[in-house]
Structure 1
Amino acid sequence: MITVFGEGRGFRVVWLLEEMGLPYQLRPVDLVAGVDNDPEFLAINPAGFIPALRDGDATMVESIAIMEYLMGRYGPTPLAPDPADPAFPAYQQFLHLGEAGLAASLFFVVVSRNLAPEAERHNWGARKALEVYESRLRLVTRRLADSPYLAGDRFTAADISVTYALEFAQRTGAAALGEAEQAYVTRTSGREAYKRAMDVCQATKAWAAEASARRNSGSEEAGAR
């Protein structure tokens, strides 16, 4: 049985598993409480971050690497175009850009704004990380002007990768989405596999609902002024 440890970026993995129709279980990891008293998880990932994967004797960390492993191990799947497919270069680029260029950059913005001492929240590193995110986002915006999905006309794992990053930006308030990005997220999050993944990832579902309520409240207050 495939076991996914932790939500957060683990949502990408759960969504992929739902798209592929593979059996799995989600094993929660409480990072807020700390993982020092979670020896089962630390045996999988001694570094203590999520997500992690156990599949028989195989253990892995890093959400994009896990996704590539699952598609390679249990594919072929239309979620990963063949290397000879003209869509492959764009697929490969955006699959990795969703984490390396977008989500990873925003992580440092979010922890600076929310966890750093007040005087250090808008530090140089956080500002630079936001600039990196914004520059990479322009690649997404430009691509969406030409096609409904990042690899072309069909949904792929690259869309799972980038959708997570854009929703992370929106839910944390670290960066706003433009019209094209918002329409794209509405399109990708309308998939049945996404909805099933949200039902499995209850902490993510609660976070999304809380963030949506916060945005709606802000919109109502702005409209009242």
Structure 2
Amino acid sequence: MITVYGEGRGFRVVWLLEEMGLPYRVRQVDLLSGIENDAEFLAINPAGFIPAIVDGDTVMVESIAIMEYLLARHGPSPLAPAPSDPDYPAYLQFLVMGEAGLAGAINAIVATNILAPEAEKTNWTTGWALGTFESRLDLVRRQLARSAYIAGDSFTAADISITYALEFAQRTGCFTLSDPEKAYVARTTARKAYARAMDGCPGTKAWAAEVAARQV
């Protein structure tokens, strides 16, 4: 049984596990109320960030690295095109971009909005981060103009990565998606594995419901 520590970006991992049909459990981690007191989690990841997984004797951190590990260790899977597949370059690029260019940039804005003193909430860095997100989103839009999914005509793990980033940006109020992105997210989140992943991540599900209720 694979243990996933923490929701947040751990949702990507849980969604992938559901798509692959692998057994897992989610062990909650509260980063806001004294992570220094969570000795069990810090023994897994002394750096104190989520997600992390334990798979037998293997410990992994970083959501995209965890996804690649699961696909390689527990695959092969149609969720990861083979290197010889024409869709592989786009798959790999957008799998990584979901964090490196999209969610990571939004995270800088979210952290500033939550933690920074009022006078420092609007600053050069948050403007740069938003610009980074928007430039990478242009690449996503171009790709989706060519195909229904981010790496081609089939759903892959790269869609999990990108969908998480787009939902994160929208739920935090950092960005409003346009109709093409909304249609794409509607396609990817209509999957049964997504619904099961939401059930497995009650904090994420409650947050999504709260945001949806405010938007009515």
Unaligned runs of 5+ in 1: 217-225
For 1:34 and 1:144, locate their aligned partners in 2 and report how far apart those are by CA, in whole Å: 41
Aligned-residue offset at 1:215: 1.8
Aligned-residue offset at 1:34: 2.1
For 2:25 and 2:50, locate their aligned partners in 1 and report how far apart those are by CA, in whole Å: 15
For 1:160 and 1:34, locate their aligned partners in 2 and report how far apart those are by CA, in whole Å: 30
Counterpart in the other structure of 1:34: 34
Identity of aligned residues (%): 68
**Superposition map of 1:7-156 within 5 A:** 7-156=7-156
User: What is the SS of the residue equivalent to 2:60?
Assistant: strand
**Superposition map of 1:163-178 within 5 A:** 163-178=163-178
1:189 is the counterpart of 2:168: no
For 1:173 and 1:8, locate their aligned partners in 2 and report how far apart those are by CA, in whole Å: 16
1:6 is the counterpart of 2:33: no
User: What is the SS of the residue equivalent to 2:36?
Assistant: coil
User: What is the SS of the residue equivalent to 2:110?
Assistant: helix
User: What is the SS of the residue equivalent to 1:82?
Assistant: coil
Aligned AA (2:195): K
For 2:34 and 2:77, locate their aligned partners in 1 and report how far apart those are by CA, in whole Å: 36
For 1:214 and 1:118, locate their aligned partners in 2 and report how far apart those are by CA, in whole Å: 24
1:157 is the counterpart of 2:164: no
Across the aligned residues of Structure 1 and Structure 2, the Cα RMSD in angstroms comes to 0.6
Aligned-residue offset at 1:213: 1.2
Deviations 1:20-49 (A, max 9, x none): 000011100011212111111001100100
Deviations 1:56-81 (A, max 9, x none): 11101000000000000000000000
User: What is the SS of the residue equivalent to 1:166?
Assistant: helix
Aligned-residue offset at 1:155: 0.1
Aligned-residue offset at 1:115: 2.0
Taking structure 2 as the reference length, the TM-score comes to 0.99
User: What is the SS of the residue equivalent to 1:60?
Assistant: strand
